[in-house]
């Protein structure tokens, strides 16, 4: 499925939580957690939300940052929910990653670069299908 058929209409950082209690220049062992959800608001319109957390594996109270980035998408009517989930994640993930990197850079910490993931090749990929309600409200 081509990303060019999907249009990202808007994106924003909805929430940033940053804990920086580092003393001096210590060694960090960073760990990353990812979450993605896509909600279909109306036919051809969906809202994606990616959450990325980066933290010190040994001492999350020393350094931890979570970014929640959302995006509004226009989707082709023939696109399956599974394809929409995969492709919108691929479009929105770099925005969340850039927000996390910029936030840490501005705060005086060496900018944390989030490793790129392929959602369909890892264990973060999961589609939860909820059948439409009888009243037609998803």
Q: Average pLDDT across each block of 10 residues of the chain; the chain has 138 residues. List them in order.
A: 77 95 76 93 93 92 94 94 93 96 87 80 51 60
Angle, CA 109 vertex, CA 103 and CA 111 arms, to 5° = 60
Tokens of 113: 């670069």
Give the SS3 label for residue 50. strand
Can you give the pLDDT at residue 131?
A: 57
Quote the distance between the C-alpha of residue 126 and its chain's center.
14
Residue 1 is predicted with a pLDDT of 45
Quick check: 52 and 33 in contact, CB under 8 A? yes
**Residue extents of the structural domains in the chain:** 3-115
3-115 adopts what CATH topology? Bacterial Protein-export protein SecB (3.10.420)
For residue 74, what pLDDT is reported? 97
CA dist., res. 93 & res. 80, Å (int): 20
Q: Which residue has the tokens 């696109």?
A: 79
121-137 tens-digit pLDDT: 555 545 455 556 676 55
């Amino acid at each position: 499925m081509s990303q060019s058929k999907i249009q990202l209409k808007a994106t924003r950082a909805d929430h940033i939580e940053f804990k920086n209690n580092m003393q001096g220049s210590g060694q960090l062992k960073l760990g990353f957690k990812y979450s993605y959800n896509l909600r279909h608001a109306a036919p051809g319109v969906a809202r994606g939300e990616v959450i990325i957390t980066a933290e010190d594996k040994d001492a999350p109270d020393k350094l931890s940052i979570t970014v929640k980035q959302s995006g509004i998408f226009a989707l082709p009517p023939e696109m399956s929910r599974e394809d929409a989930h995969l492709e919108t994640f691929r479009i929105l993930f770099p925005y969340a990653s850039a927000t996390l990197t910029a936030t840490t850079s501005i705060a005086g910490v060496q900018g944390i670069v989030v490793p790129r993931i392929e959602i369909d090749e890892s264990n973060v990929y999961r589609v939860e299908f909820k059948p439409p309600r009888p009243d037609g409200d998803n």
